[in-house]
Amino acid sequence: MEKSSNATELVRDHFREKASSFDALYDEEHPLQRALRPGLLKRRELAIEVVREYSEPRVLDVGGGSGRVGELALDVGAGEYVNVDLAQEMLDLAAKRLARFGEKVKLVPGDFLTSPLDGSFDVVLALGFFDYVSDAHLHVRRMAEICSGSVVASFPRWSLVKGPVRKLRYEVIGNCPIYDYTERELRFLFGSAGFGRIRITQGGSGFLVRAER
């Protein structure tokens, strides 16, 4: 548990220091980002597609950061959007971005595993979240406990091209631990947590998972 706590602190510190620059990195509308990181656009599109399938759904965004996907979810009809994030600095950016939606938005600072969350959610999003999670099984299990519908989550996989660069950038330079996954691990994670239907799509540098309760 102490190892997990230390990792959480490192991730929190990383995003506190780099909130604005990280937010800019996830500007999917920027032509350069679209060209260099098409996976960001694909996972965003799947998330919004799933939100559209529900009527005014309750949407939980785990590690939702500055609320870029949350803004789109609210635009397409989410009845409530809850963003849980370790870094208050990221949530401050989300507060500005989502101010026009008023009481439909709830921003929760803290660890997803221990944050108080009332009721169940139709859609749970975890995009770019599991990159930094050392105990993924606990997080998937809690998602299963509070999700009544669909989970959409992204997971990085090891790549000989991008893997070493990511390790250098985040762990060596940024002092922020990162993790990689295999499709076999993901099927076990979601299956053992109680998800019935699990669909996994493999992209250039990661996996996109849609799991149903």
Residue 161 amino acid letter: V
pLDDT band at 169 (very low <50, low <70, confident <90, very high): confident
pLDDT band at 39 (very low <50, low <70, confident <90, very high): low
DSSP assignment of 90-137: HHHHHHHHTGGGGGGEEEEES-TTTS---S-EEEEEESS-GGG-S-HH
Could you give all domains of the chain from N- to C-terminal order, each with its CATH number?
2-212 (3.40.50.150)
CA dist 194 and 144 (Å) reads: 7
Averaged pLDDT for residues 165-176: 70
Over residues 63-102, the pLDDT tens digits come to: 999 999 999 999 999 999 999 999 999 999 999 999 999 9
Tell me what percent of the residues of the chain surpass a pLDDT of 90. 68
Over residues 97-133, the pLDDT tens digits come to: 999 999 999 999 999 999 999 999 999 999 999 999 9
| pTM for the full predicted model | 0.84
Residue 168, pLDDT above cutoff 80: no
Amino acid 158: pLDDT: 76
User: In Å, how far are 79, 168, 192, 196 from 71, measured between CA atoms?
Assistant: 12, 32, 32, 29
Averaged pLDDT for residues 185-191: 98
